[in-house]
Amino acid sequence: MVDTEQNIDETEIDDTGELFEHYKFRVDKGQSLLRIDKFVTSKIENMSRNRVQAAADANCILVNSKPVKSSYKVKPLDDISIVMPYEKRELELIPENIPINIVYEDKDVIVIDKEAGMVVHPGHGNYSGTLVNALLYHLEQQGTSALSEDERGGFLVHRIDKDTSGLLVVAKNIFAHTKLAKQFFDHTVKRKYIALVWGAFDEKEGTVSGYIGRCQQDRMKMRVFDEEENGKHAVTHYKVMEELGYVTLIECVLETGRTHQIRAHMEHIKHPLFNDNRYGGDKIIKGTTFSKYKQFVDNCFSLLPRQALHAGLLGFIHPNTGKEMIFESELPSDMTTVIERWRHYIKYRTEI
């Protein structure tokens, strides 16, 4: 038996969305000794024993805060905590020959530098042309026909938004998937983003925290709340990299990974991302009223038709070798072009 409380972390499909499920159980006093893999599969609907065993092998099943193997016998009043990657698949996945920038690959993981404009996973309104469609083709070209249906397209551990560029890691097998999901759950993955935001900062570095939840007035948008019951705890550390007049180039380090975390946090402190149309950055927030200045900003918007956000660094412990892997990605040309325009503007702004 289990307590009625069963916590499952929601999965999200946007910036810094992490894809894992978290289950918590308190074993009933009358429970007889039973292998934990059998116990868990009997308590979670549609849970395969293979998934539970993979989670145990990856030290992702904790009993009374200590990792156990799948042969562990549950005992009365045991507190069980399980982290495993999200596995839900609702759409038929079709391989598509779409070029993707693979910066690293071995038998366990693939690290990809995603271009802005590419959706990570098929969903409503985006049934093809996604990163997963491209990965499915890539893996099948390697001869993965022996893999199960669920393994054919690799395993997503996290996602970044369609209009955010940069690095993400994909697992190639269920063991790697589970080990990486645990690292994301434990917040041990290193992630650093570069953003161009509106306004100048009084302090050169700082931290934004709060509870991020769905905005009631606009369900496509997230907002920061003071109360825990309204969202999930989120922490972003930022540092000023370069002051560019009415905009600032900053570095953001994520302590947590929530949907639209950086975008919502920057809006919350009145520094929305440049040209972020969901969070108000697609308007002139700072600057003059001169028509030439407006023309200059509109031109920058045209050159960078998305929020100015790039996942520039990704670090994790390799699920098989145990070695730390660090990857860095240069800013894409649309961001560098606009940054150069702002540099030129602040140097000669008396002429505009």
Angstrom distance (rounded) from CA 115 to CA 314: 15
Going by C-alpha positions, the residue among 264, 259, 256, 298 that lies closest to residue 195 is: 264
Residue identified by tokens 């040309």 is 333
User: Rounded to 5 degrees, what angle do the CA atoms 107, 312, 212 make?
Assistant: 100
User: What is the C-alpha R_g of the chain?
Assistant: 22
Is 161 labeled as catalytic in the residue annotation? yes
Annotated catalytic residue, options 161, 163, 282, 334: 161
Alpha helices by DSSP H, listed for 24-105, are 36-43, 49-57
Q: Which residues contact 206 (CB under 8 A, 6 or more apart)?
A: 237, 238
Name beta bridge partners: 234.
Answer: 210
Residue identified by tokens 């509109």 is 298
User: Exposure of 272 by Cβ count < 10 A (0-12 exposed, 13-18 middle, 19+ buried)?
Assistant: buried
- Residues taking part in catalysis: 161
